[in-house]
């Protein structure tokens, strides 16, 4: 079963691009990766989801290399309001089971 | 479109008691998943329901149980509460178990 790890924390400045990586071993071909943002005392908020290569939406990009042992969330031009904890989630295909990463606390500085 | 709602938002219970938490999914969503979030263990999957059937569960003792009703609303129950059960309990709904949308959570404190 997949085990997911993330860096504990990251600091960035406003306007910079931030890349947060999630390491996940033993994920199967059809397992999908989802990234969430969580503010204190709130539930996680969906950011982006993908299976392979690259996915982009209006707020972020998700890169998954061919070996699928990691995935990277890319946030372009972060602002102070992006200060939050970011989690990756592995959805184990066909099992309806979900494994969250350890979470990365992103602090955006002015 | 209304989001996922959870009730109550805060709860204080005593060791040995039981508790029931409720989750109302987004309209049209038939999958409901439950998670426990603690500072030490992070976010852990409890179980997932779809059309009133539990399709999988995480590694939690049998004191943790749940159910889903025909209108997709779900409840989870924890019996014989322990201090370690203090946590934020989150519910998430989705159409097909892929793109999950989370509620605000229920903060349970066991004293």
Average pLDDT of span A56-82 = 93
CB contact under 8 A, A100 and B48: no
Predicted local confidence at residue B1, as pLDDT: 67
Cα-flanking dihedrals φ and ψ of residue B61, to 5°? -65, 165
Going from the C-alpha of A36 to that of each of A44, A46, A86, B40, the distances in angstroms are: 6, 5, 6, 19
The enclosing H or E element of B27 equals none
Q: How confident is the model at residue A2 (pLDDT cuts 50, 70, 90)?
A: low
Average pLDDT of span A6-33 = 90
Token look-up 């109302």 returns B24
Going from the C-alpha of B25 to that of each of A80, A93, B49, B69, B107, the distances in angstroms are: 31, 22, 11, 11, 18
Q: Say which residue, B34 or A99, is predicted with more confidence.
A: B34
Q: Is the pLDDT of residue A3 over 80?
A: no
Q: How far apart are CA A55 and CA A64, in angstroms?
A: 9
CB contact under 8 A, B55 and A100: no
**Which candidate from B99, B104, B105 shows the least CB-CB separation from A49?**
B99
Question: Could you tell me which residues come within 8 angstroms of residue B39 by beta carbon, excluding any fewer than 6 positions away?
Answer: none
Q: Say which residue, B24 or A3, is predicted with more confidence.
A: B24
Tally: H helices and E strands in chain A: 0, 11
Predicted local confidence at residue A71, as pLDDT: 92
Token look-up 């349970």 returns B108
Antiparallel, parallel or unpaired: β A18-25 and A70-75: antiparallel
Which segments in chain B show pLDDT lower than 50?
A: none
Q: Which residues of B touch A (CB under 8 A)?
A: 4, 31, 33, 35, 42-45, 48, 50, 55-56, 58, 90, 92, 97-105, 107
Q: Write the Ramachandran bin of B35: left for phi over 0, alpha for psi from -120 to 50, otherwise beta.
A: beta
Average pLDDT of span A17-38 = 89
Q: How confident is the model at residue A94 (pLDDT cuts 50, 70, 90)?
A: confident
Mean pLDDT of chain A: 90
Judged by DSSP in three states, A47 sits in strand
């Amino acid at each position: 079963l997949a085990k997911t790890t993330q860096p504990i924390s990251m600091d960035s400045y406003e306007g910079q691009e931030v890349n947060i990586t999630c390491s996940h071993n033993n994920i199967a071909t059809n397992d999908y990766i989802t990234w969430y943002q969580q503010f204190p005392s709130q539930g996680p908020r969906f950011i982006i989801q993908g299976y392979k290569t690259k996915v982009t939406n209006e707020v972020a990009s998700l890169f998954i290399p061919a070996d699928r042992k990691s995935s990277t969330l890319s946030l372009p031009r972060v602002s102070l309001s992006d200060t939050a904890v970011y989690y990756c989630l592995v959805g184990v295909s066909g099992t309806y089971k979900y494994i969250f990463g350890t979470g990365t606390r992103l602090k955006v500085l002015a | 479109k209304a989001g996922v709602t959870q009730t109550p938002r805060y709860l204080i219970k005593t060791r040995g008691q039981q508790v029931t938490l409720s989750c109302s999914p987004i309209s049209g969503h038939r999958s409901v998943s439950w998670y426990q979030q603690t500072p030490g263990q992070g976010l852990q999957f409890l179980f997932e329901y779809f059309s009133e059937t539990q399709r999988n569960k995480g590694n939690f003792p049998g004191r943790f149980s749940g159910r889903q009703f025909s209108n997709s609303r779900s409840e989870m129950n924890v019996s014989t509460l322990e201090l370690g059960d203090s946590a934020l309990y989150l519910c998430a709904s989705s159409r097909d178990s892929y793109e999950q949308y989370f509620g605000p959570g229920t903060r349970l404190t066991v004293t």
